[in-house]
Structure formats: structure tokens, C-alpha cells
Structure 1
Amino acid sequence: MIKLLHVEDDADIREIAEMALSLSGEYDVVQCETGEIALAYVENYTPDVILLDMMMPGMTGRQTLEKMREKPEFADVPAIFMTARAQHAEIDELLAIGAADVISKPFDPIALGDQIKQAMEKARLTQAA
């Protein structure tokens, strides 16, 4: 099972993502509605991959990832951002700070699991190089 931490403030998106990923049988999904809650949760949990909403109240997805990356055990955990504002400049910026991928909203629930696995593989190959 792939341990996935999903940080998303929109309850509907959390529900759709959780249903799509759980139905595949490949993901153990933990969800948090804010960056602050996610940071508290990861004190005792290290996921295989992090799926972050970009724009959330309080901490943004980027700020949440930056805080997580301060912990050595999170240095190599692939992070994927989900955003409705998928402009080329923003995507390039997120990739430059170490995002494995950026998924545009609205996303395809059927393809989500495969997109995450592809991003994890891309991150693994990048780390090995």
C-alpha cells in the first residue's frame, strides 16, 4: 500500500480524491484539511507521497511543504501539488522547489492514482540520478 497524505481544505475534493484512491486498493489515504493539521499529523506519520492543495487558508501548500522539508525524513518524500491556477510560471516555480508534479483542478478522479504513481516514479528517477 502506498501511504498518501492529502492536504486539502475543500471537503468535496477530499471526498472525491479519497474515493478514487481508495477504490484502487493501492493507497492508504490520510487526509488533513489544513497545513497546520498536516504538520501536527506528520509528527508521528511519514507518508510515501504528499498531495497538497496549493491555495488553502492559513498556510499554503507551498508553505506546508517547506515546513515538512525541514524534517530530514521528509527530504525525499515526493510532493504533488493540485491547483486550479495552473499557469506555466506557477508550475515551473513549484517544480523548481522540488514538486514531483502539478495536477490541475478540476482533476480526473479515474486518472488520479496513475498520475500519482507516475510522479513518484519520476521523483525516484530524479533522486537516483
Structure 2
Amino acid sequence: MMKQVLVIDDEEDIREIAKVSLQISKQWQVLTASSGEEGLAIAAKAQPDVILLDVVMPDMDGLTTLQTLKQTPATQFIPVIMLTAAGSMISDQKYAELGAEAIVSKPFDPGLLGDQIATALDWPVE
């Protein structure tokens, strides 16, 4: 069964790098959203297997998006992995308390991203 990943990040280059690396390394289907609002709508409709969520975004930031995902019945069980730039103000502990499965630091290694996601979610690493 092909996995489906939703990448929510306001930076187009980050979305593209994540999308291409996951498609090539894992043959996963990748959806992208450029804002928290767009991501919430796509997540509810598409029901992806996992969401990669950027922390720092304009308007609706990653924490607000995470909280909304976890409070919405249609999306509350979708695992979320936070994408954080080094030196984030919020602790990994805080993300975990809010329901994030794992943290991936930016800049991430495109060659390792798929395995990092699989490992965090206990998916078989191929």
C-alpha cells in the first residue's frame, strides 16, 4: 500500500525538496500545502498517512496548525512530524505534549528524510 504524505510548509523550495526526495526514495505519494489553513483542508479531505508540518509559518503557525489537527475529529489520528529550524524556541517536549510524533530538524537531508519518517512511525524501513 503506497503511503501518502502531506507536507505543510510556507517555503516552496522546502516543499519541493521534501516532495521529490520522498517520491524518489520511497515512491510515496506527496501532497503539499503552503499554509496551515490549506494543510488542514487537504488533511481532512485526503487523510494522509502522515503530515510533515513546518513550525514557523506566517498567519497560522505550526503549533496552531498542530493543535487544530489534533482537535479536529477528521484529522486527530493522523500522525504529525514537526519540521523545525535549529534553535527553535519551543522544546521537543512541548511538541510531544501537543501530539507530535517526532521532530525533524531543518535543513534536513533529503536522502534520509523518508527513513526518518518511517523510523519515527515504526513503518518498515525498506
Structure 2 counterpart SS, 1:52 = strand
Separation (CA, whole Å) in 2 of partners of 1:58 and 1:87: 18
TM-score w.r.t. length of structure 2: 0.87
AA partner of residue 94 (structure 1) = Y
Which aligned pairs between 1:63-78 and structure 2 lie closer than 5 A? 63-78=64-79
Other-structure match for 2:16 = 15
Contact 1:86 1:104 in 2 (8 A): no
Contact 2:66 2:99 in 1 (8 A): no
CA separation of 1:94 and 1:29: change in aligned 2, threshold 3 A: same
Gaps of 5+ in 1: 123-129
Separation (CA, whole Å) in 2 of partners of 1:94 and 1:114: 21
Other-structure match for 2:41 = 40
Which aligned pairs between 1:48-87 and structure 2 lie closer than 5 A? 48-87=49-88
Separation (CA, whole Å) in 2 of partners of 1:27 and 1:81: 18
Identity across the alignment (%): 39
Contact 1:49 1:78 in 2 (8 A): yes
| Alpha-carbon shift at residue 87 of structure 1 (Å) | 4.9
Stretch of structure 1 that moved more, 7-16 or 21-30? 21-30
Stretch of structure 1 that moved more, 88-97 or 35-44? 88-97
Contact 1:47 1:77 in 2 (8 A): yes
AA partner of residue 37 (structure 1) = E
CA separation of 1:25 and 1:107: change in aligned 2, threshold 3 A: closer
Q: Spell out, residue by residue over 1:28-87, the C-alpha distance to the aligned partner (whole angstroms, 9 max, x if none).
A: 100000001112223421111010000000111111121122222322211100111445
CA separation of 1:32 and 1:89: change in aligned 2, threshold 3 A: closer
TM-score w.r.t. length of structure 1: 0.85
Structure 2 counterpart SS, 1:80 = strand
